[in-house]
Amino acid sequence: MTTVCTALPDQLRLLLVDDHRIFLDGLSLALAPLCPDLRVQTAHNAAEAETCLRRQDFDLILLDLRLPDLPGLELLQRWQRQGRMTPVAILSASDSSLDAQAALAAGALGFIPKSADGDDLRRAVTRVLLGETLPAPGVGEKPQLTPRQQEILLLLADGLPNKAISRHLGVAEDTVKTHLKALFQELGVHTRTACVSAARQRGWL
């Protein structure tokens, strides 16, 4: 771990966004060896994260996908629209490759499973801090659709446009587009019709 950390500066400031306080405590301890002066700020929801970002700058944000007040994906998309340059990596309990691809499509630089051990976590965070984009896990495996992706795929098969899908599910239209982009990438298609056809061939519909 020492050889990996020598490439990082002596001081780093991280923002950890997750609503599980005990997990945040463990995460802070696991990240402590990254550098001599690691400063960790925590936020338990999207509103607290926004407040933290207004007050100071961070070298990296570790963001959970499941927040109590706003989905992490929508918060990430909001930051992208605002032109925020702070690198973001998703840290999630999800093992869905489509979740990972949706996060990367929305602008995240990595998708780190919460099941990762301390060494793997520090290696992944170090790579992102050094400017790398981590590949989505599980590439080449059969993806596990999340409930939201299943809903979007079913509504797509019914012929609904993005705006109608977003209204029906109560999510932002950008979120629908991001999930569709991930589905298109996974299926190797470029149109909605081809997406539905390929999904049927794979038994997803």
DSSP state of 106: T
Residue 164 has pLDDT above 50, yes or no: yes
Break the chain into its structural domains and give their ranges.
2-129, 147-200
Q: Which fold has domain 147-200?
A: Arc Repressor Mutant, subunit A (1.10.10)
Rounded mean pLDDT of 9-24? 94
What is the per-residue pLDDT across 69-108, written as a single tens digit (0 to 9) for each?
A: 999 989 999 998 999 889 999 998 877 777 888 888 888 9
What is the per-residue pLDDT across 177-196, written as a single tens digit (0 to 9) for each?
A: 999 988 888 887 888 998 88
Residue 16 has pLDDT above 50, yes or no: yes
The end-to-end CA distance of the chain, in Å, is 45
Q: Show the beta-strand stretches assigned E in 33-179.
A: 37-43, 60-63, 88-92, 110-113
Nearest to 43 by CA among 63, 22, 70, 60: 63
Distance CA 12, CA 34 (A): 8
Which residue type sits at 101? Q
pLDDT value, residue 79:
94
Q: Which fold has domain 2-129?
A: Rossmann fold (3.40.50)
Residue 26 has pLDDT above 50, yes or no: yes
| pTM of full prediction above 0.75 | no
Nearest to 183 by CA among 153, 154, 157, 163: 153
